[in-house]
Amino acid sequence: MNQDEGLVRRFYRTEEGDKKLKEAIIREEREEARNEGLQDGLTRGRAEGLAEGRLEGIEQNRHEMVINMNKKGIELETISEITNLDIDEVKAIIEQ
């Protein structure tokens, strides 16, 4: 027996029963839609969070590379070419 059949059996086939049945079905559909919306929102939020985390990780790695290359005495122009950062960005990372 599915949910709708259970609802039909719970209410008598009267005008009042039909009204209650309709209200119960609407409540269940709203709840189902709400749950689907929440799940969709959670899925999107996770995906956005993962993407943001990956970008932050890449940026952190790039900063570490700049600092390590500078410590090894590599010229700023070369660091800029390797990391695809402007020379000013390279300098700003080193000055932090």
pLDDT greater than 90 at residue 87? yes
pLDDT tens for residues 41-75? 889 899 999 999 999 999 999 999 999 999 999 99
* Number of independent structural domains in the chain: 1
The share of the chain scoring above pLDDT 70, in percent, equals 85
**Tokens 């949910």 identify what position?**
3
Q: Cα 68–61–96 angle (5° rounding)?
A: 60
The count of other CB atoms within 10 Å of the CB of residue 85 is 19
The residue with greater pLDDT, 2 or 40, is 40
For residues 82 and 65, the answer to whether their CB atoms sit within 8 Å is yes
pTM strictly above 0.85: no
For residue 16, what are the domain limits? Answer: 3-95
DSSP single-letter state for residue 17: H
Rounded average pLDDT over 10-15:
62
For residues 70 and 94, the answer to whether their CB atoms sit within 8 Å is yes
DSSP single-letter state for residue 32: H
